[in-house]
Amino acid sequence: MKYFLACLLTLLLVVPTSLRAADENVWFTPIPSETPSQLNPGDPILIYAKINNVIADPVTYVLAFTAGDKTIGTKVVTIAGYTGQDVSVQWTMPEVSTPVSATVAKATDKTKKELKALIGPIGSVTVGVAPKEIDIGPIKGWVGDMVSDLERFRLRQLKYFTARKELANEVLSRTTIKDVQDLLQPEPSVETATVSEVKVEKKDNGTTVGYLKLMYATIGKAFFAHKAVYFVAIILLGLVVIRLFFKLLFR
């Protein structure tokens, strides 16, 4: 049974429906007017993020670029329905490698209604001068591709669970006090209840399911938001799978 659970967990975490994205969502380039042979710290660069509007109506996005806890630039763009756009901000090449993230901080439709489901991280890129590395052949490329794929999967899942949590909070916020009071009322006994009371079936209006969905989304968001915890879990899972493989091979 434990072997089956280990294999199932591997499929859920490591084999998503679409693991490999066609393009990077966030990247950086030199300023087009500047064509240095090699970027150095202090050189001007452009950091890009790709936004796809997946609904029919135009959406106005507020896009924030952050390096650590510091916001390095914001952009407001309106994108027509079912189209995409590359948005960029100017920055300078840092002295040390720095992760830069792009996030949709706000999204509104043409009526100024906020679309919370579209808010969330787009992706990240490490900006910095690449140090000279020892060539370790194709293994390095394979490992790098796998880590990049896992990171893209983590960011997609973080965006998904963030949207699910926002939706669950929005649904639960519409629960009235009367709904809660109805849930807390004791069931009428057969001896004291009237015929109409016996025929009425108590319903929780989806509140219980709503809280379960909120709990599920909160746990998922917390897990995928912590990069270190996510990769440690992947490594531990990999060790379990390797151990299982060798036990089955030499049994």
**pLDDT, one tens digit for every residue, the chain (251 residues):** 444 444 444 444 333 332 223 347 999 998 876 555 577 888 999 999 999 999 999 999 999 999 988 999 999 999 999 999 999 999 999 989 999 999 999 999 999 999 999 999 999 999 987 665 555 556 667 777 888 888 889 888 888 888 888 887 877 776 545 555 555 555 555 454 454 444 444 444 557 787 888 888 899 888 888 888 888 888 998 899 888 888 888 87
Containing 35, the helix (H) or strand (E) segment is: none
Count CB atoms within 10 A of the CB of residue 161. Answer: 21
Residue 220: the pLDDT is 85
165 contacts 217 by C-beta, under 8 angstroms: yes
95 contacts 87 by C-beta, under 8 angstroms: no
Residue 75: the pLDDT is 96
Residue 64: the pLDDT is 97
Residue 71 phi/psi, 5-degree rounding, is -85, 120
Residue 249: the pLDDT is 81
89: which strand partners?
47
Torsion of CA 137, 143, 145, 150, to 10 degrees: 180
Instruction: Compute the distance between CA of residue 73 and CA of residue 125 in angstroms, rounded to an integer.
Output: 15
Going along the chain from its start, the domains and CATH numbers come out as 24-132 (2.60.40.10), 136-251 (no CATH)
Residue 109: the pLDDT is 94
Residue 18: the pLDDT is 29
b/e per residue 45-82 (b: at least 16 CB within 10 A): bebbbbbebeeeeebbbebbbbbeeeebbeeeeebeee
Q: Tell me the CA distances in angstroms from 78 to 8, 61, 126, one per residue in order.
A: 42, 6, 27
Threshold 0.75, pTM exceeds: no
At residue 44, the 3 state secondary structure works out as strand
Residue with tokens 């990247």: 27
Instruction: Compute the distance between CA of residue 158 and CA of residue 101 in angstroms, rounded to an integer.
Output: 13
Ramachandran sector of residue 109 (left: φ over 0; alpha: ψ -120 to 50; beta: rest): beta
Residue 227: the pLDDT is 85
